[in-house]
């Protein structure tokens, strides 16, 4: 049994992606925070990540570098 059919049997509805939502995902995914983009589009973080992967989308190098610097700053604050 696939996950989709299991969800249907449990009475869950999975929101479908509209063409407009896919267009927005394609346009902004590379440089936007996935959680914020997902919330804007009305989908879960996982759904946005999975859809982007299915579409072959990737985060930009600049976004990944910026995210990495933010993670380092939050984990190892500058010493006085």
- The model's confidence at residue 10, banded by pLDDT at 50, 70 and 90, is low
pTM metric for this prediction: 0.73
For residue 1, pLDDT beyond 90: no
C-alpha span between 36 and 18 (Å, rounded): 18
Eight-class DSSP state of 43: S
**pLDDT tens for each residue of 61-74:** 999 999 888 877 77
Q: Encoding tokens for residue 54?
A: 């299915």
Kindly tell me if the per-residue pLDDT of 55 is higher than 60: yes
> By percentage, how much of the chain surpasses pLDDT 90?
60
User: Is 51 within 8 Å of 16 (Cβ atoms)?
Assistant: no
pLDDT at 49 over 90: yes
Per this entry, what is the length of the chain? 80
Q: 32-60: string of b/e by CB count within 10 Å (b at 16+)? A: bebeebbeebebeeeebbebbeeeeeebe
């Amino acid at each position: 049994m696939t996950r989709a059919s299991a969800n249907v049997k449990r009475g869950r509805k999975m929101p479908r992606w509209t063409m407009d939502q896919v267009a927005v995902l394609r346009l902004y995914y590379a440089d936007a925070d996935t959680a914020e983009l997902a919330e804007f589009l009305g989908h879960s973080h996982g759904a946005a990540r999975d859809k982007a992967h299915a579409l072959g989308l990737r985060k930009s190098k600049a976004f990944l570098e910026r995210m990495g610097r933010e993670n380092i700053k939050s984990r190892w604050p500058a010493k006085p």
